[in-house]
Structure 1
Amino acid sequence: MIPLLLMAGFLGAGKTRFLTTLIPLLLERGLRVRIVLNDFENAKIDAARLGELDALVTPLNGECVCCGSLRELLDTLQAVPPDPGSVMLIEANGATETDELLGYLTTDTTLAHFTLPLQLTVIDAARWQKRWWNNGLEAAQATTATHVYLNWTDRLSADRRNAVEHSIRAVNARAEFTTPVAFAATLHHLVNAVRNVEPRETRGVAAAQRHGKGHTHPFGSMALPLPPLVARAPFLAFVQALPEAVVRAKGLVRFADQPADMFVWNRVPGRKKVQLDESSPHADAEPTALFIGVGMDLAELETRIATLHA
């Protein structure tokens, strides 16, 4: 399999700058580097800059890869041939909603030749949570990270750096703080761990989280069927009480008090209520629950869903 990395970070955080340091470190270790670079206008400019470092770069101009450019991204990834000894890096633009994108990357059955994704979030430490109405998006990009790189730390006092690290820990206690050198070593280890591993399973992740001897992948995703009808109040309570390890949860549901209608349900981080939207699904659509997270107890989720019958 090929290690898959999603690189996120708010506008101007320094993602491309990080890559210009990371790529030579990967090449020194004998790895081949593929990059999909998404930006609003200047993807080709940054792509040329990275291509000079001997990386194979595909630019995606336009909308975020979590929405408008998603199909183009998935088509690009699907076309990548099996290539042991390589890594696939996605540099998302600064407005990307990472939880949505991770949902597609972890469950799309055509991406089984990639590992479940790591996510590196690059953070401008000097401006962390000083972006007014965009603070929520910046924090959300950190919430789903497996690794965090603090950029522009030379501008900070020791107190400010400690405060930033503490604030990031408050939204994501699982992420590992890293550097380009340390992260290059992480990817090198992952390449060797999955070099001869067969394509991953994409239905559930109990088997998919392990990618070789001694290597357990942090991310997981699981789609579970819901009962045909559920009682509204217990279901909403179940979703609200999902453990912190679940960073994304959504699906389709029918309620016993309104059985003719299907709803899209969505647990949005930071909101007190579960979002419900009436849906007109395909005729064969069934009630389901999709969970994405780090270190999830899958058996516990299955057990709790089994108690939701109306």
Structure 2
Amino acid sequence: MIPLVLMAGFLGAGKTRFLSELVPQLAARGTRVRIILNDFQNARVDAARLGALEALVTPLNGECVCCGSLRELLQTLYDVPPDPGSVMIIEANGATETDELLGHLTTDTRLGHFTLPVQLTVVDAARWQKRWWHNGLERAQVGTATHLLLNWTHKLDAARLAAVEEAIRAEKPRAAFVNTDTFAEWLHTLAARVQHDPQQGGRSTGLQAAEPRARAARAPHTHPFGSIALPLPTVVLRRDFEQFVAELPEQVVRAKGLVRFADDPGPMYVWNRVPGRARVRLDASWPHADATPTALFIGVALPIDALTEAAARLGDRVPPA
């Protein structure tokens, strides 16, 4: 099994620069590196910057890997042969919506030769939250991270650096702050562990992150991202469903599924909780005949029991037909 790393960060944060430092560190530890590098037009330029390193680099020009280039990204991952002792790093472009991409990387059953994803977000500390209307995207890329690297810190005085660190910790208190050396060592150790015990990669349990306590009891490493799909009642009250979505715990970074409402049980909607919006988004759907109402949750250390109970309770107040 191969560790799968999504590397995110706003435009100019220093992702490729960080990779140029990380790859030699991993190579020195005996860990092979594959890189998928996504950018709008100059992916091959950035790939050339990494060409002298001991890494296999695949450039993906075009749109973000969370949308327009998603199919190409997934096909590239499908085609990677089993290579225990290596790691796969996806360098997403600066405009990537990480929650959307993590949803695909976590739930796609054809990615069984990879671990569940971890996410390193590179933050330009000197420009943190100075992106005008893009500040929300920068925060969102931090909000789904499992690891954080602060870049360009030498441009800040001590007071500004402390304020930036405090703001980022408030945005994502569970993420680990790393540097090149500590992340290389962590990733090398992970590659060695999943090489000998694939269950530590998180995908082999079937219900992705549903057994974190059991795995933690016998191994020091558990993957931070997981997913679970839960059935919803056949129909629900709109008010109750909106409240259910609004009260999802903070561990859930992505939530979507199918739903029918008691006041109009004919159509089935695709529902989606969009980060930063107060209301759930509903889109018309044309489901297959065997499609049923469902809820898919993706996140860190998901509270499985609480989510299951909350989903089941949605049917308690629906009047009988």
TM-score for the superposition, normalised by structure 1: 0.96
2: CA distance between counterparts of 1:26 and 1:194?
A: 16
**Per-residue deviation, residues 208-256 of structure 1 (Å, max 9, x unmatched):** 8949722111111111121221122111111110111111111111111
Matched to 2:117, the amino acid is: P
Q: Paired residue for 1:253? A: 259
1: CA distance between counterparts of 2:57 and 2:208?
A: 31
- More displaced stretch, 88-97 vs 187-196: 187-196
Paired residue secondary structure (1:261): strand
Matched to 2:219, the amino acid is: K
> How far off is 1:71 after superposition?
0.5
Mapped contact 2:149–2:178 kept (Cα < 8 A): yes
Match of 1:230 among 228, 233, 236: 236
Q: Paired residue for 1:307? A: 313
Gaps in structure 2 of 5+ consecutive residues: none
**Per-residue deviation, residues 22-75 of structure 1 (Å, max 9, x unmatched):** 000000000010000000111111112212101001110000000000000000
Q: Paired residue for 2:124? A: 124
Matched to 1:112, the amino acid is: G
1: CA distance between counterparts of 2:257 and 2:180?
A: 37
Q: Paired residue for 2:182? A: 182
Q: Paired residue for 2:274? A: 268
Paired residue secondary structure (2:197): coil
Mapped contact 2:212–2:222 kept (Cα < 8 A): no
Q: Which structure 2 residues correspond to residues 19-34 of structure 1 after superposition, within 5 A?
A: 19-34=19-34
Mapped contact 1:109–1:202 kept (Cα < 8 A): no
Q: Paired residue for 2:302? A: 296
1: CA distance between counterparts of 2:80 and 2:52?
A: 21
- More displaced stretch, 26-35 vs 214-223: 214-223
Paired residue secondary structure (2:22): helix
TM-score for the superposition, normalised by structure 2: 0.93
Match of 2:209 among 205, 208, 219: 205
The structure-2 alpha-carbon separation of the partners of 1:12 and 1:28, relative to structure 1 and needing over 3 Å to count, comes to same
Q: Find out whether 1:71 has 2:77 as its counterpart.
A: no
> How far off is 1:200 after superposition?
2.4
1: CA distance between counterparts of 2:174 and 2:166?
A: 13
Matched to 2:31, the amino acid is: L
Gaps in structure 1 of 5+ consecutive residues: none
Matched to 2:10, the amino acid is: F
2: CA distance between counterparts of 1:136 and 1:274?
A: 18
Paired residue secondary structure (1:242): coil
Matched to 2:73, the amino acid is: L
Paired residue secondary structure (1:51): coil
Match of 2:223 among 208, 217, 223: 217
**Per-residue deviation, residues 111-157 of structure 1 (Å, max 9, x unmatched):** 01111111000011010100100001111000000011010000001
Q: Paired residue for 1:140? A: 140
> How far off is 1:10 after superposition?
0.5
> How far off is 1:207 after superposition?
4.2
Identity %: 66
1: CA distance between counterparts of 2:148 and 2:111?
A: 25
Paired residue secondary structure (1:126): helix
Q: Paired residue for 1:150? A: 150
2: CA distance between counterparts of 1:247 and 1:173?
A: 14
The structure-2 alpha-carbon separation of the partners of 1:37 and 1:208, relative to structure 1 and needing over 3 Å to count, comes to farther
The structure-2 alpha-carbon separation of the partners of 1:184 and 1:93, relative to structure 1 and needing over 3 Å to count, comes to same
Matched to 1:244, the amino acid is: E
Q: Paired residue for 2:51? A: 51
Length, aligned pairs only: 310
The structure-2 alpha-carbon separation of the partners of 1:282 and 1:229, relative to structure 1 and needing over 3 Å to count, comes to same
- More displaced stretch, 251-260 vs 90-99: 251-260
Match of 1:278 among 284, 299, 303: 284
> How far off is 1:203 after superposition?
4.0
2: CA distance between counterparts of 1:40 and 1:208?
A: 38
